[in-house]
Amino acid sequence: MDVAGCNTSHDWLTNLITGIVITGLFISYAPQHYRIIASRSSEGLSPLFLLLGSTSSAAGMWNMITLQWSVARCCHVVSWGRCVEMTAGVFQVSVQWFCFTLIFVLYMKFYPEHRKYVQLDLEASDDARTSLMRIKTPVKSSEWRTSLLCAWVTLGHFVFSAITTLYLMLTAVPTPAPEVPLPAPVQSWATFLGVTSAILAAIQYAPQLVHTYKHKVVGALSIPMMCMQSPGAVLMILGIALRPGTNWTSWFTFLVAGVMQATLLVMCIAWKFRQRRLGIDDFGNPVVSPSMAEPADSGGIVVEVSSDAVVEDERTPLVRK
């Protein structure tokens, strides 16, 4: 049955897929959020990867909002439950954007302090010994400057996309029914957002793949998250493609991202085996066994070796005076 040109029939299959996807998004991103917070370090993540992922998901979200704007107008003539059902696609991509952008926020908050500024190693010597001093300078490191720039670009992209979308939606002439195509400027903007989102998603994982391959450690990346999200991309695509008013530009983003993420997952699993073989953790630090971590009891005697210690050889007398 239609009310004022709005379709009020229920599509239980699409609703079920959308509900599973939304729940799965929260569950799948949780390990990555927890890993950064628990380790209190975001080392191993690429700021360019987070920039491209945040802007790609934001463009995909505004694309969905633009395409389903006429569907959302039906909320004033249908029940509250039906309104939620009709706009669930918007909520789905909004959750995707929120969960990924939260990784970027945690990345900035837990960025390692010792990597924010350039540190100099200086040698200080006197007549007896030589020591190494590490001095922290007020000069920002290149990676920290890149991270700050990426954060500002991400914020600027979101604000610009939001203002443009809302302006077009509020000034466009409403179509008589949701089935009628959107006005040309609105349709062009939606296509631009969809194509931009797909392009950003296509290159999104490239910086992270290069970064992870170069460092050859997993870092702060969460393997459980990628194990859940790689196959979950199929449900994400179906949940969007079956929605009324959407086209290939709405779901192609998630297809590309799913393939790239699966590649990153395979790489991280390979580095996991490599780390175990070399005896290092996810951040490249040596793994100390319990037997090595607890020093043997020396009876309370501490032995110090200084730089002016005497070096013994076969010419050194056995009994010193």
Question: Each residue of 96-137: pLDDT tens digit?
Answer: 899 999 999 999 999 988 888 887 767 666 656 666 666 777
Q: How far is Cα 156 from Cα 302, in angstroms, rounded to an integer?
A: 58
Question: What does the pLDDT read at residue 69?
Answer: 75
Q: How far is Cα 157 from Cα 200, in angstroms, rounded to an integer?
A: 13
Phi, psi of 146, deg, nearest 5: -65, -40
Question: What does the pLDDT read at residue 304?
Answer: 36
Q: How far is Cα 166 from Cα 163, in angstroms, rounded to an integer?
A: 5
Q: Assign residue 175 a region (left: φ > 0; alpha: ψ between -120 and 50; beta: otherwise).
A: beta
Alpha helices in the chain (DSSP H): 12-39, 47-67, 69-72, 80-86, 88-109, 142-171, 184-215, 223-241, 248-278, 290-293
Question: What does the pLDDT read at residue 72?
Answer: 65
Q: How far is Cα 114 from Cα 40, in angstroms, rounded to an integer?
A: 13
The H or E element containing residue 7 is: strand 6-7
User: Domain map of the chain by residue range?
Assistant: 9-114+141-278
Positions in the chain short of pLDDT 50 = 1-3, 290, 292-321
The H or E element containing residue 118 is: strand 117-125
